[in-house]
């Protein structure tokens, strides 16, 4: 224990002397929580519409006013030529083109139906689908009210109807920031743990101090533990700081037990830091470490479920994702913080993180050779 204490003392002194690392430890959670949580959202708040009104009737103008009054849409430009609207979409200046054909009001009055054309920029399929749904909802609501008004039944209600009120569990207001904040926290801990642990051993190689450590009576397990424990402390500090920011800035409701969050955090960090140490035993320079960690981070992030549900992925991808520690830890954070899940609800994640942690640490121990 005394030997391990001196190794830990050495590592903390090195962290304190590294000004860049100290800035990263403080600034990274602030930037990620205050920028990424706001930026990583599928909430659609501003859709630019190009209006082509060939009818120029009172009904078409009412429809245009109804759309423009919606908080989601803004009518940017108007014209009588649909091709101008298509050019605006091609140049990414507008998101939709609404074409109201000539005779729109006449057809609606005579035949109780009329046709509209809605052209949607679908480069971003998710935004296009949501925008189209909003537009169709506004147009359908306008259609219902205008027909009822013409029929003289503005307040008509059927004598019998079935009401189906909806209630969303765990996030009743569908606040997207509450959903994203735990995910960004998982990425924050991963970034801190993987980057710091993977560069620590390589720095010793580049500075030439690894030879001095190799000739000392420090055991291999003591040396790797001394490299791992300081970064566990630093990553847990960033996790605490990130939770504090999420609570203060986004009013994130922390429903579950924070002790469970930090317990799983320690278990998760053991695996991630073990992976980082394994990478540092393979690489010889910090540039090599950067490329390898970038490779792992891209796969971990894109398959973690932070942006798209894992359940929507192909079955083979879901099976591969079981070896992704970020996916399991992100599920733990969301389930505990938003749902108040208990340990028995997280048995699968616990077993998976234990297996991954043991695997990564074993690889690091096997790969590192303490030679004089």
Chain segment 146-198, per-residue pLDDT in tens: 766 666 655 555 556 677 777 788 887 778 888 888 988 998 899 888 888 88
**Which residue in the block uniquely carries the two structure tokens 């099976």?**
319
* 259-304: pLDDT as tens digits: 999 999 999 999 999 898 888 888 888 888 888 888 888 899 888 8
Strand partners, 118: 98
pLDDT of residue 205: 74
Verdict on whether the full-model pTM lies above 0.75:
yes
pLDDT of residue 213: 66
**Lateral strand order in the sheet of 73-79:** 73-79, 47-53, 96-100, 116-120
pLDDT of residue 161: 66
C-alpha–C-alpha distance, residues 119 and 321, integer Å:
37
The third-level CATH classification (topology) of the domain covering 47-150 is abc type-2 transporter like fold (3.40.1710)
pLDDT of residue 372: 43
Candidate ranges 35-44, 80-89, 101-110, 236-245; pick with highest mean pLDDT: 236-245
* Averaged pLDDT score across all residues of the chain: 83
C-alpha–C-alpha distance, residues 165 and 256, integer Å:
27
CATH 3.40.1710.10 segments of the chain:
47-150
Candidate ranges 115-124, 129-138, 222-231, 243-252; pick with highest mean pLDDT: 243-252
pLDDT of residue 352: 94
pLDDT of 204 above 80 = no
Nearest to 131 by CA among 91, 163, 96: 96
* 137-157: pLDDT as tens digits: 888 888 777 766 666 655 555
CA 59 to chain centre: 43
* 337-371: pLDDT as tens digits: 999 999 999 999 999 999 999 999 888 888 876 65
């Amino acid at each position: 224990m005394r030997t391990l204490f001196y190794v830990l003392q050495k590592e903390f002194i090195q962290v304190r002397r590294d000004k860049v690392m100290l800035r990263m430890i403080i600034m990274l959670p602030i930037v990620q929580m205050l920028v990424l949580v706001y930026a990583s959202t599928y909430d659609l708040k501003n859709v630019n519409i190009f209006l082509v009104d060939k009818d120029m009737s009172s009904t078409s103008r009412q429809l245009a006013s109804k759309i423009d009054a919606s908080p989601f849409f803004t009518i940017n430009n108007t014209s009588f030529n649909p091709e101008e609207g298509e050019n605006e979409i091609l140049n990414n200046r507008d998101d939709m083109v609404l074409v109201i054909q000539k005779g729109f009001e006449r057809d609606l009055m005579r035949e109780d139906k009329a046709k509209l054309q809605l052209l949607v920029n679908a480069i971003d399929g998710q935004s296009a689908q949501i925008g189209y749904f909003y537009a169709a909802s506004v147009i359908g609501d306008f259609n219902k009210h205008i027909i009822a008004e013409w029929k003289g039944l503005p307040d008509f209600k059927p004598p019998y109807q079935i009401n189906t009120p909806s209630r969303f569990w765990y996030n009743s207001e569908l606040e997207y920031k509450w959903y994203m904040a735990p995910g960004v926290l998982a990425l924050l801990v991963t970034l801190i743990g993987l980057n710091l642990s993977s560069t620590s051993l390589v720095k010793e190689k580049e500075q030439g101090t690894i030879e001095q450590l190799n000739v000392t009576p420090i055991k291999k397990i003591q040396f790797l533990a001394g490299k791992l424990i300081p970064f566990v402390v630093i990553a847990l500090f960033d996790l605490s700081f990130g939770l504090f920011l999420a609570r203060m800035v986004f009013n994130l409701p922390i429903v579950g037990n924070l002790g469970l969050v930090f317990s799983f955090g320690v278990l998760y960090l053991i695996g991630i830091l073990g992976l980082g140490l394994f990478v540092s035993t393979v690489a010889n320079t910090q540039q090599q470490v950067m490329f390898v960690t970038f490779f792992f981070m891209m796969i971990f992030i894109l398959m973690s479920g932070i942006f798209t549900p894992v359940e929507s992925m192909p079955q083979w991808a879901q099976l591969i994702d079981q070896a992704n520690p970020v996916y399991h830890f992100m599920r733990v954070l969301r389930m505990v913080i938003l749902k108040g899940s208990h340990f028995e609800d997280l048995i699968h994640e616990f077993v998976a993180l234990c297996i991954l942690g043991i695997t990564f640490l074993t690889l690091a121990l096997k790969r590192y050779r303490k030679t004089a």
